[in-house]
Amino acid sequence: MKTEPKVIVISGASSGIGFRIAQRLGREGNTVFAGARKDADIEHLSKMENVTGIRLEVTEPEDILALARRIESGPGRLDALINNAGMIGWGAVMERDLPYFQRVMDVNLNGAVRMTQSFYPLLRKSTSSPVIINMSSQGGTYAFPFWAPYHMSKWALEAFSNCLRRELQPFGIRVVVVQPGAIQSDAFKKGRSVFEQYKTDVHSDFHSRAVRLLQAAFENPARKEKDPELVVRDVLHAVYHKNSRLYYQPGRRIIPDLLAAKLPAKALDWFFRTFLREQ
């Protein structure tokens, strides 16, 4: 769908899915402000066509406000806000301290809240069906053991998105949720080394069961994961189409994601009890 160039902000664009979204949107002639934390990543982003790399840590209000002021004094409006910044969070509840939970929630949930509140005035100034796109996960629709921090943050992001959509409807601002499934992700690649250390360094009542379940995520062959281009495709559709879907689910796996989201709670409890039984 051909439209006039849009002004777009995307967080978490230093690599992976966020980088590819920023790159594609820039190539198509939009004005893209792409957030990253490291100088090298900011410089790399700024070398792309129509993309400006920006220092943007979503847990730092000063970074967000500085970007909002820059857009206010420049384009003067915002057509699409893509809340892509996120992190994984895993481990047994009894093994993780409260600051760990708080960090995951601050990035995955509170970051989106901060961004939305700060950029809302600029979205109101858009005349081209502005949209807020929140990058959630299939993990926002079910709950596996040993993934509590991640599931909590994504379930909360889903609730936030639903409430926000209904509040912003009268103002013509769309709210879209993207729920990637088994997509090749830098976050999981980076997490593998931490998981290898966890396997040898952590000892608890839950350790052996946690390792057995977490191996499916961290040691899953890449051939079973889908191309990130599926996410890029859905994000672009949401940006350009005023009648976009409310939810996009790129890269969904039938098993275990779909079953985990649809089976009765007692059936899932039985499955995990059986799967995690001491061997």
- Catalytic residue annotation: 150
- What are the distances in angstroms from CA 13 to CA 4, 256, 279? 23, 29, 43
CA–CA separation, 131 vs 123, rounded Å? 8
Max Cα distance, the chain (Å): 63
DSSP 178: E
For the CA atoms of 129, 37, 20, 43, the dihedral, rounded to the nearest 10 degrees, stands at 110
Decide: 149 and 98 in contact? Cβ < 8 Å.
no
Tokens of 201: 């360094």
DSSP 226: B
CA–CA separation, 194 vs 135, rounded Å? 24
- What are the distances in angstroms from CA 134 to CA 23, 42, 200, 205, 239? 18, 22, 36, 36, 12
Q: Which residue has the tokens 């009894």?
A: 94
Which residues on neighbouring strands pair with residue 176, listed in sequence order? Answer: 133
Sequence-ordered list of residues with C-beta below 8 angstroms from that of 7, at least 6 positions apart, any chain: 30, 31, 33, 71, 75, 77, 78, 79, 80, 126
CA–CA separation, 203 vs 159, rounded Å? 35
